Amino acid sequence: MQETDKIWMNGELVDWADAKVHVGTHALHYGSGVFEGIRCYETEKGPAVFRLRDHLERLENSAKVLYMDLPYAREELRQATHELIAANGLPSCYIRPVAYYGYGELGVATTGNPVDVVIMSFPWGAYLGEEGQRTGITTMVSTWERVGPNVIPHVAKATGIYLNSMLATTEARRAGYDEAIMLTRDGYVADGPGENIFVVKNGTLLTPPLSMSILPGITRDTVIHLARALGYMVEETLLIRTDLYLADEAFMVGTATEVAPIRAVDDREIGVGPITLELQQAYLDVVNGRDQRWSDWLDVVATSRTPAEV
């Protein structure tokens, strides 16, 4: 992780090295936290956070599912994010807010523990590698199934759920693949450990519906809007693993990943297709502020530096 100057911690900007927690922190023992992954891009108007309000709304939803009362309102967290970005002075960065049950009582019940809120911002390059963005990534269907809606609620971006992702991604990397794809207990395609999935078949985009144990991805939603604006049909539909093998094109999307072509699934070659590359470019144009039609999605941060000086 590339260190920056400051971290926003419970209402204050603290030095990176001082943003510490006690080993008795509830979330460290039980995974009782909720988080977000957000990107800020360098645009002509300055650093702009992509769909910040939508990410903070999802954070609130995640907290609600975990019986957690966030001690800050959405607008306060939005201002805190702006303040942090301005303080660290990076034209583009990844932003990681985390809210978690802190230090107080041990035991799985959360009573007696404060809710701490932290926001980090730091540089984060291509999640699945620069080369993967161009030539596509290799994937394997994981032996780990996606957590079901009555196991841990997938709608919440909760830290504990990511043990499921960690197992899948580690298994895939150890087997020599770039990333895993997880299926539900019934064998339907869900998502990647940190990405949603799309398939292209006969010119139509297909993606699993939100009930398929997937995170309601903001990039997924963005790509659906962009694809429809480009004239493509998008269907939210059940997919099985052979739909992946026999796809004309397939790709993963997420805040960290952006749009990454999948060139193979379980050693069946798919290759990198034109619709994937068109959507990848459209996405990068939007987030970097080069397509004015979607400028409402960009939350521009006021900084002391003008873009010209950066």
Q: Which amino acid is at 106?
A: L
Residue with Cβ nearer ligand PPE (40 or 218): 218
Which CB sits closer to ligand PPE, 71 or 129?
129
Query: 161-200: b or e for each residue (b if 16 or more CB lie within 10 Å)?
Result: bbebbebbbebbeeeebbbbbbbbeeebbbbbbbbbbbbb
- 8 Å CB contact between 98 and 35: yes
CB closer to ligand PPE, 46 vs 193 = 193
User: Among residues 6, 20, 64, 157, which one is catalytic?
Assistant: 157
The reply to whether 20 belongs to the active site is no
In the complex, the smallest distance separating the C-beta of residue 36 from ligand PPE, rounded to whole angstroms, is 8
Please check whether residue 141 is in contact with residue 153, taking contact to mean a CB–CB distance below 8 angstroms.
no
Q: In the bound complex, what is the minimum distance in angstroms from residue 215's beta carbon to ligand PPE?
A: 4
Give the integer Cα–Cα distance in Å for 188 and 184: 5
Write out the two tokens for 179.
């990333």
CB of 81 to ligand PPE, least distance (A): 14
Q: Considering beta carbons, is residue 103 or 122 the nearer one to ligand PPE?
A: 122
Residue whose C-alpha is closest to residue 284's, from 41, 56, 122, 94:
41
Residue 12 in 3-state DSSP? strand
Which residue, 219 or 280, is less far from ligand PPE as judged by CB?
A: 219
Reduced to 3 states (helix: H, G, I; strand: E, B; else coil), residue 286 is: helix
Give the shortest CB-165-to-ligand PPE separation in angstroms: 6
User: Closest separation between CB of residue 196 and ligand PPE, Å?
Assistant: 5
C-alpha dist (Å) from residue 305 to 83, 87, 119: 13, 11, 22
Contact set with ligand PPE (CB under 6 A) = 37, 165, 191, 194-196, 215, 217-220, 254-257
Residues marked as catalytic: 157
